[in-house]
Each structure stands twice: as C-alpha cells, then as structure tokens.
Structure 1
Amino acid sequence: HSPVFFKDNEPKIVLFGLDATGKSSIMHKLKTGDTTNMPTIGFDVERLKYKDSTLVFWEISGQQRYNLLPLWRHYFQEVSGLVLVVDSTDRDRIEEAKDFLNMVIDEIRGSVPDNVAVLVYGNKSEVPGAMSASEISNKLDLASLRQRNWQRNWHVQSSCALCGAGLHEGLDWLLKNAGRM
C-alpha cells in the first residue's frame, strides 16, 4: 500500500533538519530498532506504531531543504508535531541549523496550528564533547522565537540514533504536548 494515504486520525509529524544530522537513522531506529545511513532524497513518509498511537512521519531531506522549502507550507497544514534534528557534535553548523529553523518558521507561519509542539533532538549525544540540551536550546535561541509570537511548546531532548537513547523520551514528550494527538 502507498504510504501517502493515511487516516485523518493519525497524527502527522514532520521530521526536518540539516543534512547528516541523523533524521533517517532516528526514523528507522524508532520503526525497526535498526538504523540506516542512507540519506533521504526529497521526502520519505513512514507510519510508526508507538504505544497506543499510529504516527505518520514525513521526513524531509536535509540535502534538498532549500529546494523543497516552497512546498513545506502544504506538508505542514495538518501537522500535529514538528521534530527538528540537530547534530549535537557539530558546533560549526549549529548557527546554520538556527537560520534554517527560522526560515522554516517564517515559511510555515499561519499554516501550522497554534497547538503544535516542537521537539528538538540533539542527536549524537553519546559523542564526547557533544552539546547539552540546554546549550542547544541557547544556540538555537529558542527563547527569542517565543518573543516573535511563535508560542509553541518546545523541548530539546539529547538523543543517540545508534543506541536509541532519548528517542522514546522525546516521542513521549511530543505525544503528551502535541495538538490533536
């Protein structure tokens, strides 16, 4: 069956971030218990059974993020949660991740319901020297987004796609805080 067809009662989660942050690995770890290192081309849609819910994840390619940006407004209309994945070891690109997040927010403003929760996975947290959740929150300047009338629930969760640490905790937070779930 085609993954594009999903039921209205299945919460839609959009998974996004820069390339090579571990989006696909997180998706596959949650779905199968294994990881993958194959980059996503365009976008991938996966149905994930988690606890008492069936979630539909739309994973958007990090490599083609700017080409796809004009289409995002359409993906985000019926969304219940947003998941940004950042590489917590990559201090050189955290500013780029912040700029990208701000660009996405500007692009989807008005298309996303007010009660959408935003989970940030600080992936690769098992690597020595990785940024903590609070450091990621500061570097992404999440507090300033609230001042720009982006009144969403935010949570930064340290995670490890390879071993699974933090993934379920993040998803639990998202299920508890996202709208329409």
Structure 2
Amino acid sequence: MGLIFAKLWSYFCNQEHKVIIVGLDNAGKTTILYQFLMNEVVHTSPTIGSNVEEIVVKNTHFLMWDIGGQESLRSSWNTYYSNTELVCSFRAQTAAGVTDVSRFIILVVDSTDRERLAISKEELYRMLAHEDLRKAAVLIFANKQDMKDCMSAAEISKYLTLSSIKDHPWHIQSCCALTGEGLCQGLEWMTSRAGLR
C-alpha cells in the first residue's frame, strides 16, 4: 500500500532531483548548464563556488549545481553531496517507507585534455566512494568533441575504466557544449533513470 501511495504522490508532486555538475576547470560545465537552460552559448568565466539552475525535462525537475573545478575548490565538492537527493516530499517518502533517494552526478570531461584525464579519474572514484553518493547515477559528458585530436567517448570510457563500475548506473555521452550536440541524449538518460527511482 505504501508504494502505491508513493507512486501516486510522485505523480501529483513535482519531483525535483538535485544534480551536481563537476569536472576540472575549463571542462565546459557552466557552458553545458546554460545550454540546458537557454539552449544558447553564454559567455562564462571560471566558477567560484557554484551556479544553480532548475531544468525541466518531461515534467521531471532537475536542480543542477554547477560546482567550480579549480584545484583549490575540488576539496569542497563533498560539501554538496549530502543535499544531492530527491526532495519532492519528505512526508510522502516517510509515509511510504521509501528511503532510497535519487542522486545524480554529471562529470564533464574535456576530451582534448589528455594530460589531466588521470585527475578526472581520481576525482570520479573519490566521489563514487563517498557515503552520500553510494547510490548515485553518473552521467559522463565527453565534451569538446568538435575539437581536432579529441579523445572519443570510447577512449575516455576505457581510460576511466567505466566498465569496472558495478554499483552505480553510469552512461558516457559524447557532446559539444558550444553547439549543444549530445546534451539532450544525456538528459534523456537522466530522465529515464529518474523514472526508475
């Protein structure tokens, strides 16, 4: 009975899934966020702290936190993890006994930045090991696919050893933040994951 109530409640309630967008500096996180929001390129500068915007896809609300990726800021990423959850209705979840929450990470990788791919890998696995993200679904955007000599999504996937990730749903998507190519496919994957929760 509790699960039926939760499903009915979620149908009538605007579900809001909190998402953190992380990646090294200059990977294209903020450009992707504003492509989602306005479908256009916005002039950006390095993010100090975070940018927060709500994106709605097929009646699914994503509250996206774009977090600065400079080396000095990466140690503070974990302060955002505990709030990365489904926040539709605490009462509905409690009444139904539903404790599983929906969490999303978007990792943006600069496909031309071979030198720092090892740092991206290290940060990814540090996040996946964090208690607050143990059930997070992970979308990796292989950005800057329009650039000459960029790594393909398959190359990045192999380097990041994504196939070894067994306890987190994940998807890697080629994209170009400047044109928006590939971004919709990534959002569709997230929306399908949100519907499974």
Q: Normalising TM by the smaller chain, what interval? A: 0.7 to 0.9
Q: Secondary structure at the match of 1:55?
A: strand
**C-alpha offsets along residues 129-173 of structure 1, whole Å, 9 cap, x if unaligned?**
211111111111112333xxxx11111100001000000001101
Q: How many residues align?
A: 168
Q: Which residue of the other structure, out of 163, 166, 174, is the alignment partner of 2:182?
A: 166
CA distance in 2, matches of 1:175, 1:70: 24
Match of 1:28 in 2: 34
Aligned alpha-carbon RMSD (Å): 2.1
**C-alpha offsets along residues 4-37 of structure 1, whole Å, 9 cap, x if unaligned?**
xxx9721111111111000000000110112232
Residue identity matched to 1:58: W
Alignment of 1:67-146 (within 5 A): 67-76=75-84, 78=86, 79-106=102-129, 108=130, 110-112=131-133, 114=135, 116-146=136-166
- How far the C-alpha of 1:52 sits from its partner, in A, is 2.3
The answer on whether the counterparts of 1:77 and 1:111 sit within 8 Å (CA) in structure 2 is: no
Residue identity matched to 1:18: L
Q: Secondary structure at the match of 2:103?
A: strand
Match of 2:90 in 1: none
User: TM-score, with normalisation over the residues of structure 2?
Assistant: 0.77
Structure 2: where are the runs of 5+ without partners? 1-12, 87-101
- How far the C-alpha of 1:123 sits from its partner, in A, is 0.4
Q: Higher mean Cα deviation, 58-67 or 155-164?
A: 58-67
**C-alpha offsets along residues 44-78 of structure 1, whole Å, 9 cap, x if unaligned?**
21111223222110111101433313413423355
- More helix by percentage: 2
- How far the C-alpha of 1:105 sits from its partner, in A, is 2.1
CA distance in 2, matches of 1:73, 1:81: 10
Distance 1:33 1:70, change over 3 A: closer
- How far the C-alpha of 1:113 sits from its partner, in A, is 5.5
The answer on whether the counterparts of 1:117 and 1:178 sit within 8 Å (CA) in structure 2 is: no
User: TM-score, with normalisation over the residues of structure 1?
Assistant: 0.83
Q: Secondary structure at the match of 1:31?
A: helix
| Structure 2 residue 59 is the aligned partner of structure 1 residue 52 | yes
Q: Higher mean Cα deviation, 86-95 or 170-179?
A: 170-179
The answer on whether the counterparts of 2:67 and 2:77 sit within 8 Å (CA) in structure 1 is: no
CA distance in 2, matches of 1:124, 1:70: 26
Match of 1:4 in 2: none
| Structure 2 residue 82 is the aligned partner of structure 1 residue 61 | no
Distance 1:136 1:178, change over 3 A: farther
